[in-house]
Amino acid sequence: MKKKNKDLINRKKFWKIGISDFNTQYFDFNKDGELIVKEGNNQYNVRYLAEKLGTPLEIFFPFILEERVEDLLDLTSALIKKNHYGGKFYYHYPMKVNQNKEVVMSLVGEGANLETGSYNELWLVKRMLEQESFNPKIRVICNGPKTDKYINLIDDLQHRGLKVIPVIEGPNELKVFRYSRYSVGIRLDIPVKVQSRWDKAVDRFGFSAEEILSLGKMKNLKLLHYHIGSQIELLSDILNPIKYALDVFFKLKKINPSLDTLDIGGGMPIPYNRVKGYSVNSLMAQILKLMKTEADKRGMPHPDLRCEWGRYIVAPSQITVYKVIDVKNVPPKAGRAKKWYVIDGSFMNDLLDTWAIHQKWHVIPCTDKPDAKAVKVWLAGSSCDSDDIYTGQGSSIVLPDHEGNGGQGRLYLAFLDSGAYQDPLASHHCLLSSPLKAIAENGQIIVIRRRETPDDVGKLFGW
């Protein structure tokens, strides 16, 4: 018995679960070495769900999502009080990160405001408004290039009383919005270099500081916005752009006293590879301190703060589960792995960032028998594409040896943090079906996207 307990503790350590810094405090192994997810006193056995619902499978956990946004709002309001910060904080959920209804509705229910990047996303906001599915006091920031349809819809929703703030991204938008009677924002292109895959040498978004400061008076200017990139790994890379933006902000406020809000966009990272980064607590404390110092120095009021962190809030709320359907040998000396594990889904389709941005994932076996040996593997997707693989991005993945038990019994693999960006980017290479999607909430499992039939997928291509 004692040995079994120790095994369990070691195994939890090895797979880095049960650790808040890694967002794995919800995961555990039961006494049989099976992966479970705990929601209060409810718990979900992932192997059982995979067998019951089939694979590939996506499981969305609203409680994880809700807890994350709640924590962010509580943390920030406590810091504002403690530091006597004079401005307010608003969280805006960038819909492009995951537009699934259950995700957006869960976030709005916890007090999130919204950010849209396209006409179609704003159209969903209109539908929610008409269905009275949110508090009409909600605020919506509209980024992205403004087509005529997008502009008309912004106008329509503003007339209906919804607080919609378009962010001006270019000269044509400036003509449309600068004399509008509703509040507007403007996007600043920040020339500060940061460590993020998305920080390009030449940026096509927004205006330079000089351009913005030479625009003259805009009676309706409320908000200065920038977005520098996603998955920003260094805390200083979040603070330095804020410092740059604040300098522009206070100069701009002298021309436009109505300006009262700094919107710092997205970028808060996720520890995909389970290396400890900075915490949201220390980041938020430092952001507010910086904003307070810079405002006090100039004798200006503390600006309101808005952020649009998407990945950080949503990624940990979903896992993707595959079954290992075959095991093959990697030729000796060919690489760092001994075996290929072939899975019944596709990285290029269901976890497209594996291919697009060389995303690292945290992969955990849904059953880890105490006597199973470990083996270094590569994973192969079910499409015919030689790029449809996951090698731990040039290394290997350590998993239980599936052949140790004769390839019998089933091996299921859980990919953590699949909640951000993977659904919107998903595709149908080789006409494979998308994973079935289920929600796990209050001990209940609800299937919200059934497995596509050949007919369903064929229809997408005119069959």
56 is an interface residue for ligand PLP by CB under 6 A: no
From the list 72-80, 304-312, 378-386, 403-411, the region that binds ligand PLP by CB under 6 A is 304-312
Number of H helices, E strands in the chain: 15, 21
Determine if 227 is a binding residue for ligand PLP (CB under 6 A).
yes
Choose, by CB under 6 A, the member of 76, 113, 230, 422 that binds ligand PLP.
230
Closer Cβ to ligand PLP, 115 or 344, answer by number:
115
Alpha-carbon distances, residue 299 vs 252, 264, 295 (angstroms): 15, 22, 6
CB of 288 to ligand PLP, least distance (A): 19
Among 33, 56, 185, 265, binds ligand PLP (CB under 6 A): 265
Nearest to 321 by CA among 27, 9, 7, 101: 27
CA distance 184 to 188: 13
Residue sitting closest to ligand PLP (CB): 266
Question: How far apart are the C-alpha atoms of 200 and 209, rounded to whole Å?
Answer: 17
Per rule CB under 6 A, count of chain residues that contact ligand PLP: 17
Helix (H/G/I), strand (E/B), else coil: 225: strand
Q: Which of residues 124-153 bind ligand PLP (CB under 6 A)?
A: 143
Considering only 97, 188, 262, 351, the residue that binds ligand PLP (CB under 6 A) is 97
Q: How far is the CB of 423 from ligand PLP (least distance, A)?
A: 13
Question: CA angle 36-37-38, nearest 5°?
Answer: 115
Indicate whether 267 belongs to the interface with ligand PLP (CB under 6 A).
Answer: yes
Q: What share of the chain is helix, strand, coil (3-state, %, to 5)?
A: 35, 25, 40
- The least CB distance from residue 308 to ligand PLP, in Å, is 4
Q: In whole angstroms, what is the distance from residue 91 CA to residue 87 CA?
A: 14
Does 309 bind ligand PLP (CB under 6 A)? Our answer is yes
Q: Any contact of residue 310 with ligand PLP (CB under 6 A)?
A: yes
> Which of 33, 56, 62, 94 touches ligand PLP (CB under 6 A)?
94
Q: In this complex, which beta carbon is closest to ligand PLP, that of residue 95 or of residue 377?
A: 95
Residue 166 found at the interface with ligand PLP (CB under 6 A)? no
Backbone dihedral region of 226: left (phi > 0), alpha (psi from -120 to 50 degrees) or beta? beta
Distance between CA atoms of residues 146 and 116, nearest Å = 11
Tell me the CA distances in angstroms from 259 to 43, 137, 412, one per residue in order.
Answer: 48, 20, 53
Indicate which single residue of 34, 173, 308, 441 sits in contact with ligand PLP (rule: CB under 6 A). Answer: 308
Query: At its nearest, how many Å lie between ligand PLP and the CB of residue 110?
Result: 17
What is the C-alpha R_g of the chain?
A: 24
Residues binding ligand PLP (CB under 6 A): 94, 96-97, 115, 117, 143, 227, 230, 265-268, 308-312
